[in-house]
């Protein structure tokens, strides 16, 4: 095959994919694998970019999320623990834990998308990869996180009846 404009492409050729949804999906898959196997984050991400066929912009966005979550994991896990105290972080399903880490990272640190978009994306990832209850759980935790952001009573300080 040639590189002439209009020349037919081989059937295995596909254009690189862009967009934030596939990038978040890759970030989740990368964090899940790291969480499960302790593999090298950069190598795991690089394999994922190749498999997902992401373009440079989407791949970079995914890496920024992975790197940011890893850098802030302790703070993110503490916040998740405060928002969902009845579900210890180390006993939470890996998918749910990493979906929440990604969303909270975006809400707290990267901040370039509206909260509603970040929550919708997190719920979609939970539906796609999690259990039947994951989407509802993720939505509830993130709604509490966003709702508690401007309130005088922080979710971590609220009594049991105030957290529901």
Q: Which domains does the chain have, with CATH numbers?
A: 20-148 (1.10.940.10)
Buried b (16+ CB within 10 A) or exposed e, 25-47: bbbbbbbbbbeeeeeebeebbee
Residue closest to 140 by CA, chosen among 86, 95, 84, 99: 84
Report DSSP state, residue 62: H
Residue 164, both tokens: 């529901």
Which has the higher per-residue pLDDT, 67 or 50?
67
CA distance 146 to 110: 15
pLDDT tens digit sequence for 91-112:
999 999 999 999 999 999 987 8
Res. 155: pLDDT tops 80: no
pLDDT tens digit sequence for 15-38:
666 789 999 999 999 999 999 988
Res. 159: pLDDT tops 50: no
């Amino acid at each position: 095959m040639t590189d002439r404009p209009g020349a037919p492409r081989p059937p295995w050729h596909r254009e690189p994919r862009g967009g934030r949804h596939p990038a978040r999906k890759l970030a989740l898959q990368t964090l899940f694998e790291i969480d499960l196997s302790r593999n090298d984050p950069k190598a795991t991400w690089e394999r994922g970019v190749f498999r997902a066929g992401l373009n440079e912009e989407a791949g970079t966005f995914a890496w920024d999320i992975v790197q940011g979550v890893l850098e802030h994991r302790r703070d993110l896990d503490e916040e998740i623990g405060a928002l969902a105290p009845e579900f210890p972080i180390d006993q939470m399903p890996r998918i749910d834990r990493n979906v929440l880490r990604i969303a909270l990272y975006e809400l707290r640190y990267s901040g370039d998308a509206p909260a509603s978009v970040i929550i919708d994306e997190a719920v979609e990832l939970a539906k796609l990869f999690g259990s039947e209850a994951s989407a509802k759980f993720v939505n509830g935790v993130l709604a509490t996180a966003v709702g508690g952001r401007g309130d005088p009573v922080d979710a971590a300080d609220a009594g049991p009846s105030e957290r529901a």
